[in-house]
Amino acid sequence: MIHIARTQKDLDQYLKAKTIGLSPTMGNLHQGHLELLRRSLEENELSIISIFVNPTQFAANEDLSSYPRTWEEDVAKITKLSQQYQKDVIIFFPENDEVIYPHGKQTTYSHQRLRAQLEGEVRPTHFDGVTTVCKRLFEMTKATNAYFGKKDYQQLTIIKEMVIDLNLRVNIHSIEIFREASGLAMSSRNNYLSDSDKKVALTLRKTLLQLASTLKQQGLSACREQRDKAIKNKQFNYISIRDALTMDEISSFEQDVVILGNFQVGSTRLLDNIVVEHTA
């Protein structure tokens, strides 16, 4: 069964379970989001999926007002999964922004090391919005476990470090990237793309796969050279080769590595990444 909570008081009546799994989303649910909820249903007594288009992670020039909102379809998808698992799911759908931010933006959390890099370079306030909303959601829902997608790799790394730094009592779980049949990473922002845009967008996945193969077979220098050539395609906002754990820049391939890319189709920025494991 599903239950809808619109305030903290609504939520509180359900928070007596031994294990609570939280899947934070902005709605417009696709299979990738539903994988988070599926894992939560498998691993927890009670699952909560939040649907909140978080204003603090959008800059003034971004798509906050046009971000796809598909409440009825989302509820239908969640209901189906809840029935499949025969377990209760709470949809936390705050009735207004004040439920999450009683004093507006007064108290924020920032991850200093990564907030201004990669995604943060063009979206300087984005990660402060993400960390702040996630900390609030963890506490409001008393989550034991929280589920995040590897598609947003920088976000995931930042959240994991925040949880350690602030000693939050929640376990962070990462979920593999769910892809369309073509290989394109699923994203709510794929809705902005036409079929021909989607074909162009596949350049991102193809390039990351090629770079991963070069890294494995020929090493870091060859991979960097290939990256430098690939990035001449102006649709790439960046391609970065980093330590998979810390997301620091690397000088040698002696640990697991993540190659992250951001590719622009029209005004839509698309994210993807690939992890290359280091085998001794």
- List residues near ligand AMP by CB under 6 A: 25-26, 32-33, 35-36, 148-149, 151-152, 175, 177-178, 185-188
Asked whether the beta carbons of 174 and 150 are under 8 A apart, the reply is: yes
Asked whether the beta carbons of 106 and 25 are under 8 A apart, the reply is: no
Give min distance, CB of 19 to ligand AMP, in A: 19
Spell out the SS3 assignment of 131-179: HHHHHHHHHHHCCCEEEEEHHHHHHHHHHHHHHHHCCCCCEEEEECCCE
Give min distance, CB of 243 to ligand AMP, in A: 20
Active site residue 173: no
Closer of 36 and 223 to ligand AMP (Cβ): 36
Asked whether the beta carbons of 137 and 61 are under 8 A apart, the reply is: no
From the candidates 33, 111, 126, 173, which is the catalytic residue? 33
Give min distance, CB of 251 to ligand AMP, in A: 29
User: How many other CB atoms sit within 10 Å of the CB of residue 211?
Assistant: 23
Rounded-to-integer distance, Cα 12 and Cα 104, Å:
22
Closer of 67 and 236 to ligand AMP (Cβ): 67
Closer of 31 and 221 to ligand AMP (Cβ): 31
Give min distance, CB of 46 to ligand AMP, in A: 19
The residues annotated with a catalytic role in the active site are 33
